A and B are shown apart, each in its own frame.
Chain A
Amino acid sequence: MTDVVRLDNVTKRFGRQTALRRVSFAVPEGAVFALLGENGAGKTTAIRILLGLADADEGKTEVLALPSATAGTEIRRRVGYVPEESDLYDWMRVDEIGWFAAGFYPEGYFDRYQKLIDAFHVPRDRKISALSKGMRAKVRLAIALGHDPELLILDEPTSGLDAIVRREFLESMVDRAATGRTVLLSSHQIHEVERVADHVAIIREGELIAVERLDAMKEDTRRLTLTVKDLTTPLPEFSGRVLRMVERGRQVDVVIRGMSDAEVAVLAEHPVVEAVEQHPVSLEEIFVAYMQRNGTGSPAGKRAESVTAPVAEPQGGTP
């Protein structure tokens, strides 16, 4: 399978701020790839660089085997893009804006656009200024899908929309993935990402701190609640990578990666450990754990520093 999108050591600076720092990942064909990160982490910048809307200071990017720096327009012709901050022309009608966009894409755009609009139950002859927020978002999606692109890029598509519209977006994304097309999604809605994504990349302050398959990530991560017998004995070494550790009295809550069941059993037999409970871990908890990795919440001086901030090891996204 080929990579639809490749970023290689991309760095982007805005004045003194570094928006992206040596970011590399690849999106395989047919995947639903999610970019997670806080506001201002660099997700939108990465997407813009991919589409040739901005230039990377270092590194190179490729979309559909075309270099972004030189073939931006061609890329945008073959890719569907729903940008984060894009208002539509208020004075146009729904069908007019479809006709307008149809001029930039190959034949068949307008018919597909109309079908999508009808499927979304958006009235064709209404002015965009008279549409609700959800309908406008659907129009934006229809514009991006009119030419049946191999890659659909969505930047915060459902922020501020109601549950029903969000559901419709998810269904669209899923539908495209089911037909073998690729979706690159940048979102805050972690619950949605959890449902539909099969690859996840977490960006924090311009750095890529995790990129892997979602199911592998979830299978590899556990949340354990340890009950310890006393507060003075140091904790055992964890055989795995601790993402986050929180202590409350005699209970230690830890999100940890790379620990096998056997190792958990071993941990349970440790003298200082009274009980071990295992909880399912959602993507949100993983994400929060990654974001908060520098702080540990341990009471000062009570524990030896067996808890260190592990270094990010981005893993390849190959299936």
Chain B
Amino acid sequence: MNATILRRLVWKEYRTTVALWLAMVGLCFFLQLAVVTQSRVFLPTPMSPEDFAPGLYGIALFVTALYALACSGMQYALEHENKTFGLLRSLPLSVREVAVAKTGWAILTTAALAPVLGGMAFLFTGGAGLSASDARHASVAFGIAVSQGLAWGTFFSLLSSRPMVAILRAGAAVTVCLVTVSAYFDHTRYPIPLFLLIFAVVAAVDVWLALRWFEHWKVGRKRLQIVETLSDGLGGSWAMPFRSRRGEFVGLCLHHMRQSSAILGLCALIVLVWFVGRLLVVTEVLPKWSEWYGFAALSIMLGAIVYPSLAFHADQRQRGYRFLSHHGVTPRKAWWSRQLVWGTFYLLLTGLLLLSLVMGAPLRGVSLEEVWNELFTRPDERQGGFTFIVFWVLAYACGALVSILLRSGILAVALGATLTVVLLSLCSFFGWYIGWAPVWLIPLGLLVASRLHAADWLAERRNWRSRLRWITPAVAPLVFLLAVTPYLRIHQIPYVSDPGFSPSRLESQTYSPEGVARLAELVAIAGLPRETIVVDEPGDDPEGKKTEQILSDNAVKRLVAFTADWPKPSPCHEGRWMDSWAYLAETPAGRLHPGPFSLVVDLIRSFGNTMRHYEATGRPREALDCRIAISRLGMGMGSPDFGQNPLANVRRSARGPGMTPELLKEAISRLDELAPDRLDYAMGLKLWYLVTHRDIADDDYFFMDIGERPTARVLLPILYPWERTRGLRRLRYELRQALDRLELFADSCADPNTPSLDLVWDFPPVDTRFNDWFEQFLLGTGVSAPLLNREVLAIREFEVARRRAQAELAVEAWRLEHDGKLPESLDQLVGVYLKRRPVNPVTKRPFRLEPIPAELGGEYMITSQETVVRSK
């Protein structure tokens, strides 16, 4: 075998197949990208790379096998279709040299493609490989699929003069092989010997045929005429063109059926095999399928993309469309006749496929209505049904456009598949964010482009005007939807008037001197030295002792004095309240602590330790002062949680030496000052709003939380301005809602007998859609907006706790005056210690006293027998 000759022949094969190889790389890239995007961006909880890695490697292997099939199926047959067979024969070549070059090249390029695609999968998963068993499965599957593809592809290519038909026949043969063989084996044992046998037989036949390719391919061709006769029957050689005007169109359709009968027949065959196989599995005539189910299903899906790309193949082959234009067929009739035939078939085959997928349900006891709901109406799912339908329609539209543009059927298929995958991802994006109705514009645009190009196609016009004619309707819907998405999303929430707060107003203000002075005091207190005590609790210390920090007496005194008139109508009341907290955040002490509140939180923590220390060391008066001071401090900084905590178990501070009923009465009345109708409860919400609002203005914070989602990082900058506006409007809307609810609550607490109270109990949860949107885009308000609702609930809880604490103090006061005996009911306390009968403001049930028997501790409980609704 001469090296020069082989070099020439291999060069020729390279030039013929390089476009297909590159198209496969592109197809695999977009398929893998689609999987990655779906797994990481569009799922409620993004998948980790290990989870979708098998899918990506599976795609790589599948596309490699597809290439093996396509390349080997096209090589020999192409020489006949292009009529270069004669030239090849006239050269001093032996058929052995040609066969080695062709088949060797197919094997070589397949082997080169696998690592490239596998490498892409590797990069997409960020370096995650496959587990050992997965890798073993994968390599076996790869070996089988590729070997079958090469063997059958070469077989049909040697016997055919039409590459497209050869490829489809080989595809049908491989599908039938895989499906029937795997039906009889379960997935624990791969039927490798059987596959090897099939491969060996087919490969031997291939070698025999190849050595005779130069002479006897026509003989072999005769043997396949049975198949051709069958597929010809589809077109109906009885269909002679009619003479009437209407008949011309019918004649065109029938002519086209006859022309494409091979392809139509093969696709119908593949779908029928799939359908019958599925029927047998569903009715459990055949045992369960092995993993080839997935492979076969993927083949069918790809078939759905392949088939429409061949709509004009019969006319494109050897410029067959010239026949139409020479016989005066108008572009309109030509296009519609082709679409009618292919579209009808497509609908039939699609219907069969859908039926095969769905028919398992009734036989397993699932009603069709449930299936429908599953696919189309579950609001929190990604509406898989719509995606499916869009996929089918989009595949058809892409195919209709690509096949009228490209003369090579194989390239049309590869590019049609790639285009479908890319557009499907975009359609999912649009469907999710603006709804499924506008998405239909994309396939419609493609079909219009195809129809508009028909005239130029028949007239063989190729100038910029003709290109513009088809590019415009194809691309316009995409551009339109991209432009319209932000606008539609912003208008998905109702516009609400500004509740009066905005960062711009904030930034133009100067800090008020009173606020500065007040908070300087707080900072000074926080800076005072603290003492360390040892607490009798197990801790991190190996010796089993825990240390805590407590405030000095001086600091406590100053804090109690600080909170004495707090909260009260503060400088914040006229909208200038935030400046104090802003100032706090920028003090040196404030900067040491991340966020403006941590300074105070730290202070409160030590304050709480001090309070417990007082209780433990028998100083209940100071402890009680501390409790109330902490509660006021917490409420003052707008955190009902911190306000509520000290009010639990308030009895601990009500017992001990030096405690008198008068002190307790005084404490009860001080707690009155924290009643909602007296407090600026809205302050809490406003505080949160502005704190986080400032962060919205800060882009770093904005992007910080989406670091885990690279695709969102890509999409967000494009849509950021509108998403930000939308987010802010949503936030304002939620804020307005929360403020309204809070005001209602405050009003209801003032007068428990207001009939409109029932509405107040019904605090609706924050809209789940809002939550979902939040999850995806993770604006800086991701922390705060749900907390708006939580804030309202927390305030309700605080009020409940406050009233309960007052009742407890009253009980302790009674016990002090009645020798430690419990009152029979809380009503006895009304008028003496409490102004009103204590009622749970949320459930409107009265609190009552529940003594706990001595065996269980001997204490008492104050309860209204309601489960406090805790926000998530």
Contacts and interface: CB of A to CB of B under 8 A. Distances in A.
Contact of A81 (B82, B90, B215): B90
A53 interface: yes
A54 B219 CA distance: 13
B93 A86 contact: no
B807 to A, nearest CB: 93
Contact of A73 (B7, B16, B87, B94): B94
A55 B11 contact: no
B83 A86 contact: yes
B92 interface: yes
A144 to B, nearest CB: 8
B11 A73 contact: no
A82 B87 CA distance: 8
Contact of A88 (B8, B84, B94): B84
Given A74-B92, A83-B86, A103-B2, 8 more contacts: A76-B91, A81-B90, A83-B90, A85-B83, A89-B12, A91-B15, A100-B11, A103-B5
Contacts of A54: 215
Interface in B169-198: none
Interface residues of B, number: 23
A100 B12 contact: yes
Contacts of B86: 83-87
B214 interface: yes
A35 to B, nearest CB: 17
A101 to B, nearest CB: 6
A55 B83 contact: no
B92 A103 contact: no
Contacts of A75: 92
B92 A104 contact: yes
Given A85-B83, A89-B82, A101 B91 contact: yes
Contact of B89 (A53, A101, A104): A53
A85 B80 CA distance: 11
B4 interface: yes
B319 to A, nearest CB: 11
A76 B5 CA distance: 14
A88 B5 contact: no
Contacts of A87: 82-84, 86-87
Contacts, number: 69
B178 to A, nearest CB: 35
7 closest pairs, A vs B, by CB? A86-B86, A103-B8, A77-B92, A87-B83, A76-B92, A86-B87, A103-B4
B90 A82 contact: yes
A104 B91 CA distance: 7
Interface of A: 51, 53-55, 73-77, 81-92, 99-105, 140, 143-144
Interface of B: 2, 4-5, 7-8, 11-12, 15-16, 82-87, 89-94, 214-215
B87 A83 contact: yes
Contact of A89 (B2, B87, B89, B94): B87
Q: Is the interface of A mostly helix, strand, loop or mixed?
A: loop
Nearest to A105: B92
A76 B88 CA distance: 11
B274 to A, nearest CB: 37
A137 to B, nearest CB: 13
20 contacts: A53-B214, A75-B92, A76-B90, A83-B86, A86-B83, A86-B84, A86-B85, A86-B87, A87-B87, A88-B87, A89-B12, A91-B15, A91-B16, A92-B15, A99-B8, A100-B12, A101-B8, A103-B4, A104-B4, A104-B8
A104 B5 contact: yes
Contacts of A76: 90-93
Nearest to B93: A104
A53 B216 CA distance: 11
Contacts of B16: 91
Contacts of B215: 53-55
Contacts of B5: 103-104
Nearest to A80: B90
Contacts of A99: 8
B79 to A, nearest CB: 9
A184 to B, nearest CB: 14
Among the interface residues B7, B86, B90, B214, which one has the most CB atoms of the partner chain A within 10 A? B90
Given A91-B15, A100-B8, A103-B4, A73 B84 contact: no
Contacts of B8: 99-104
A91 B90 CA distance: 19
Contacts of B92: 73-77, 104-105
Among the interface residues A77, A82, A84, A89, which one has the most CB atoms of the partner chain B within 10 A? A89
Nearest to B8: A103
A54 B217 CA distance: 12
A144 B90 CA distance: 9
A76 B215 CA distance: 15
A99 B9 CA distance: 11
Nearest to B85: A86
Contacts of A51: 90
